[in-house]
Amino acid sequence: MHLNITQPDDLHLHVREDAMMSLAISHTARVFARAIIMPNLATPIISTEAALAYRANILLAIPKDSNFIPLMTIYLTDNTPPSEVEKIKSNQHIHAIKYYPAGATTNSDSGVTNLSKTYKILEQMEKHDVPLLVHGEVTDSDIDIFDREKIFIERHLNVLINDFPSLRIVFEHITTKEAVDFVNESSKNIGATITAHHLLLNRSHMLVGGIKPHLYCLPVLKRETHRTALLEAATSANPKFFLGTDSAPHTIKKKESACGCAGIYTAHAALELYAEIFEQENALDKLEGFASQFGADFYNLPHNSRKITLEKSPQTIPATFPVENDAIYPFRAGESVAWRVSQ
């Protein structure tokens, strides 16, 4: 069985720096034409200048035979000057601003402590039509980790869309039925990315039969009813839902630890994993919209002109990918993925 589709884009990707960047970029560029690059480096990318310098490093890591284009973002802080928005708007390489609640996830310590501190910049983003990418989890210590997305909608997203009705927002890596309902019920300015791992797994996969640190990510995997809602959204052909892998590599040392990092690495087989999901849902005809059209449309980008071919032919995933003196443990390590991309 073959599937010929427009080359896809990954609308949420972590490529890190140095050796890890080379690996992540080569895996993504193998299949995807473009990717929205997350700015949460150890030293976050908080300005247009920093994003352009990071982009220059990424360009050096792109394999010579690839036309891959990194779509840059900057990291919102309490002190981001509103004048940054016009700078972004006039720069063709920067496509969005990312909001991390301070302390919510990897390298988010410089994130926003209170959304009200960013209202001047949000006004400018709304005016200049620069999208806000939202990590939608509250960080309050009294809120259970499994409820953090749901409470974020109730306490913050509802206020945000009310105060900035024309602001384009991507609700990133949604994990709950509440998030699906919120996006479905909101205006066309609200989109959402969905990862392959949240479509494939529920929290029992991470916790039953022994804890699986390589399946720990944020937002954390949820119960099966939420996975079902995500499957329905992804295969619904509703253009508000589109592909964002949130592939987020950490070394094995950092994952297999008394305090392991959050992040799942899927870049080596991302589109193939989504193909498995869409096939299981009898929705392969909906994959092209989700992977190659709706995200580009949301970001006002042209569709890619190249086509790629997915083939129903199993591949075995390597046990690890070596990186410097350590390694990355890829999703499905040592196991099989049912599809492969044959260019």
Which residues of the chain form contacts with Zn ion (CB under 5 A)? 246
Rounded distance between C-alpha atoms, residue 44 and residue 285, angstroms: 39
Strand partners, 103: none
| Catalytic position from the list 246, 285, 297, 326 | 246
By rule CB under 6 A, what string of x and - marks binding of each residue 136-175 to ligand NCD? ----------------------------------------
Please report whether residue 330 would count as binding ligand NCD according to CB under 6 A: no
- Binding ligand NCD (rule: CB under 6 A), the pick from 27, 34, 55, 135 is 135
**Nearest distance, CB of residue 63 and Zn ion, angstroms:** 23
- Within 10 Å of residue 48's Cβ, how many Cβ atoms? 19
In the residue annotation, 109 being an active-site residue is answered as no
Please report whether residue 10 would count as binding ligand NCD according to CB under 6 A: no
- Binding ligand NCD (rule: CB under 6 A), the pick from 31, 115, 201, 217 is 217
| DSSP string across 75-130 | E--TT--TTHHHHHHT-TTEEEEEE-BTTSSTT-TTSBS-GGGGHHHHHHHHHHTP
Question: Which among Zn ion, ligand NCD, none contacts residue 7 (Cβ within 5 to 8 A by kind)?
Answer: none
Q: Which is nearer to ligand NCD, 283 or 333 (CB)?
A: 333
Return the SS3 of 315.
Answer: strand
The site that binds ligand NCD (CB under 6 A) totals a number of residues, namely 11
DSSP 306: -
Residues numbered 47 to 106 that lie near ligand NCD (CB under 6 A) are 105-106
Rounded distance between C-alpha atoms, residue 148 and residue 137, angstroms: 5
Please report whether residue 248 would count as binding ligand NCD according to CB under 6 A: yes
Which tokens in the block code for residue 219?
Answer: 């937002």
**Nearest distance, CB of residue 217 and Zn ion, angstroms:** 8
**Residue 4, amino acid:** N
**Nearest distance, CB of residue 39 and ligand NCD, angstroms:** 10
**Residue 10, amino acid:** D
Q: Can you tell me which residue has the tokens 């392969």?
A: 284
- Within 10 Å of residue 153's Cβ, how many Cβ atoms? 21
Q: Can you tell me which residue has the tokens 């969905």?
A: 194
Please report whether residue 263 would count as binding ligand NCD according to CB under 6 A: yes
Q: Which is nearer to Zn ion, 16 or 168 (CB)?
A: 16
**Nearest distance, CB of residue 309 and ligand NCD, angstroms:** 29
Sequence-ordered list of residues with C-beta below 8 angstroms from that of 99, at least 6 positions apart, any chain:
76, 111, 112, 115, 118, 132, 133, 134, 135
**Nearest distance, CB of residue 98 and Zn ion, angstroms:** 9
Is residue 165 reached through a cis peptide bond, with omega within 30 degrees of 0 on the bond before it?
Answer: no
Residues labelled as active-site residues? 246
Interacting residues toward ligand NCD by CB under 6 A: 14, 40, 105-106, 135, 217-218, 246, 248, 262-263
